[in-house]
Amino acid sequence: MLRAAAKNFHDVTVIVDPADYPQVLAEIKATGNTTLATRFKLCVKVFELTSKYDTAIAAWLGKVDVATNAYFK
Protein backbone atom coordinates (compact mmCIF):
# COMPACT_ATOMS: atom_id res chain seq x y z
CA MET A 1 0.00 0.00 0.00
CA LEU A 2 2.82 2.38 0.81
CA ARG A 3 4.47 1.91 -2.58
CA ALA A 4 1.21 2.34 -4.43
CA ALA A 5 0.57 5.59 -2.60
CA ALA A 6 4.14 6.79 -3.11
CA LYS A 7 3.92 6.15 -6.85
CA ASN A 8 1.10 8.68 -6.86
CA PHE A 9 3.08 11.36 -5.04
CA HIS A 10 1.76 14.01 -7.42
CA ASP A 11 -1.58 13.67 -5.65
CA VAL A 12 -0.85 11.77 -2.41
CA THR A 13 1.14 12.60 0.71
CA VAL A 14 2.58 9.44 2.29
CA ILE A 15 4.16 9.62 5.74
CA VAL A 16 6.32 6.78 7.12
CA ASP A 17 8.32 8.83 9.61
CA PRO A 18 6.50 10.57 12.49
CA ALA A 19 9.20 13.26 12.41
CA ASP A 20 7.62 14.50 9.15
CA TYR A 21 4.22 15.28 10.69
CA PRO A 22 5.06 18.85 11.81
CA GLN A 23 6.15 19.92 8.32
CA VAL A 24 3.18 18.25 6.65
CA LEU A 25 0.70 19.75 9.11
CA ALA A 26 2.24 23.21 8.77
CA GLU A 27 1.97 23.08 4.98
CA ILE A 28 -1.62 21.87 5.10
CA LYS A 29 -2.57 24.59 7.59
CA ALA A 30 -0.85 27.28 5.50
CA THR A 31 -1.99 26.28 2.02
CA GLY A 32 -4.52 23.47 2.32
CA ASN A 33 -2.10 20.98 0.78
CA THR A 34 1.51 19.82 0.77
CA THR A 35 3.97 20.99 -1.84
CA LEU A 36 5.08 18.74 -4.68
CA ALA A 37 8.63 18.96 -3.31
CA THR A 38 7.49 17.68 0.09
CA ARG A 39 5.44 14.88 -1.45
CA PHE A 40 8.43 13.82 -3.55
CA LYS A 41 10.76 13.89 -0.51
CA LEU A 42 8.29 11.72 1.40
CA CYS A 43 7.94 9.39 -1.61
CA VAL A 44 11.70 8.80 -1.54
CA LYS A 45 11.49 7.97 2.18
CA VAL A 46 8.83 5.36 1.44
CA PHE A 47 11.00 3.59 -1.12
CA GLU A 48 14.05 3.75 1.17
CA LEU A 49 12.07 2.18 4.00
CA THR A 50 10.40 -0.53 1.92
CA SER A 51 13.74 -1.36 0.31
CA LYS A 52 15.24 -2.04 3.73
CA TYR A 53 12.22 -4.14 4.65
CA ASP A 54 12.48 -6.18 1.43
CA THR A 55 16.21 -6.71 2.02
CA ALA A 56 15.54 -8.02 5.53
CA ILE A 57 12.86 -10.41 4.27
CA ALA A 58 15.10 -11.68 1.46
CA ALA A 59 17.96 -12.25 3.92
CA TRP A 60 15.70 -14.25 6.24
CA LEU A 61 14.14 -16.27 3.42
CA GLY A 62 17.62 -17.04 2.10
CA LYS A 63 18.23 -18.95 5.32
CA VAL A 64 15.19 -21.21 5.02
CA ASP A 65 15.40 -24.70 3.53
CA VAL A 66 12.10 -25.04 1.70
CA ALA A 67 12.33 -28.85 1.53
CA THR A 68 12.52 -29.25 5.32
CA ASN A 69 11.14 -25.87 6.38
CA ALA A 70 14.25 -25.54 8.53
CA TYR A 71 15.76 -22.19 9.40
CA PHE A 72 19.55 -21.95 9.20
CA LYS A 73 21.08 -19.39 11.52
51: domain CATH number? 3.40.50.1380
Cβ distance 37 to 10 under 8 Å? no
d(C-alpha 7, C-alpha 25), whole Å: 21
Show the domain range for 41: 2-71
- Structural domains in the chain (count): 1
Which regions of 1-73 does DSSP assign to beta strands (E)?
64-65, 70-71
Q: How far apart are CA 50 and CA 55, in angstroms?
A: 8
**CA–CA separation, 53 vs 30, rounded Å?**
34
Per-residue confidence in pLDDT tens, the chain, 73 aa: 999 999 999 999 999 999 999 999 999 999 999 999 999 999 999 999 999 999 999 999 888 888 887 777 6
Q: pLDDT per residue over 43-56, tens digit each?
A: 999 999 999 999 99
Question: Of the candidates 34, 3, 4, which has an alpha carbon nearest to the alpha carbon of residue 20?
Answer: 34
The pTM (predicted TM-score) of the whole model is 0.82
